């Protein structure tokens, strides 16, 4: 029987289990886990980012990104249907003291630039500081076009915002667009990639970003346990 509830409902194959059983392991706090080190190094090369961080889940990876980009009392803008707003337990607000500002997603999954611009708060003590725009690709099964991603990069640069991608299913988008994954991820300051979406991996996600961002995220990962 095939379980179609979600692409997360996958199980490791015997070959994967054998690799796990025989994998060299070590204390991750001291940087001694060879498997994690190899995974993070491979991710940096594959996605062309300076640093990568192994996380327990996509929810954790997204939360670490938000907490690394934003300080307490800051704000991030995302889609009303965004997973890190709607389906991750309000972690940004509860654990990061970060205010989400959702914008209604358009029919194609995009966010309207005029609506985003209107939601960016002025430099005024009455308001949270708008620091980050977060996109998701795919979102609700919809693929964001490459020209939209390029336009988004230009938009955030104009408004001095950082740009995060919830890329849990970014490889699905790359397959649909028939491009390498870096054609998508190149536009973002940080990207989360889920390892349990259709791959059979029982756990884990990656967060990619600059050395400074991942250093901050690594500390928050310790705080989150």
DSSP 87-121: SSTTHHHHHH--EEEEEPPPTTS---HHHHHHHSP
pLDDT for position 9: 86
Query: How many domains is the chain partitioned into structurally?
Result: 1
pLDDT for position 8: 85
33-63, pLDDT tens digit by residue? 999 999 999 999 999 999 999 999 999 999 9
Q: Which domain holds residue 142?
A: 14-224
Report if residue 90 sits inside a domain: yes
- Both tokens of 147, joined, read 């020209």
Q: Which of 162, 190, 111, 174 is nearest to 138 (CA)?
A: 174
- At 196, is the pLDDT very low, low, confident or very high (cuts 50, 70, 90)? confident
pLDDT for position 198: 75
Q: Which residue has the tokens 């005024």?
A: 124
Give me the CATH number covering residue 89: 3.40.640.10
Report if residue 9 sits inside a domain: no
What is the mean pLDDT of the segment spanning 67-93? Answer: 97
Q: Is the pLDDT of residue 225 over 80?
A: yes
pLDDT above 90 as % of the chain: 89
Report if residue 65 sits inside a domain: yes
Helices (H), the chain: 14-22, 34-47, 58-69, 83-86, 91-96, 113-119, 146-158, 170-177, 182-185, 211-224
């Amino acid at each position: 029987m095939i379980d179609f509830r979600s692409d997360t409902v996958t199980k490791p194959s015997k070959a994967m289990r054998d690799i796990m059983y025989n994998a060299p392991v070590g204390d991750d706090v001291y940087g001694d886990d060879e498997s994690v080190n190899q995974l993070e190094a491979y991710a940096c090369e594959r996605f062309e980012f300076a640093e990568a961080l192994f996380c327990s889940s996509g929810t954790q990876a997204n939360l670490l990104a938000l907490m690394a980009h934003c300080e307490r009392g800051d704000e991030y803008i995302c889609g009303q249907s965004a997973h890190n707003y709607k389906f991750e337990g309000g972690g940004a607000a509860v654990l990061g003291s970060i205010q989400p500002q959702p914008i209604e997603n358009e029919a194609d999954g995009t966010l309207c630039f005029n609506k985003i611009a209107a939601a960016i708060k002025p430099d005024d003590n009455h308001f949270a500081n708008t620091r980050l725009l977060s996109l998701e690709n795919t979102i609700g099964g919809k693929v964001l076009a490459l020209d939209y991603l390029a336009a988004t990069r230009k938009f955030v640069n104009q408004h001095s915002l950082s740009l995060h991608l919830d890329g849990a299913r970014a490889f699905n988008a790359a397959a649909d667009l028939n491009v390498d994954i870096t054609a998508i991820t190149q536009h973002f300051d940080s990207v989360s990639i889920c390892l349990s979406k259709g791959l059979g991996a029982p756990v884990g996600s990656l967060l990619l970003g600059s050395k400074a961002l991942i250093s901050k995220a690594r500390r928050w990962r310790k705080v989150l346990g």
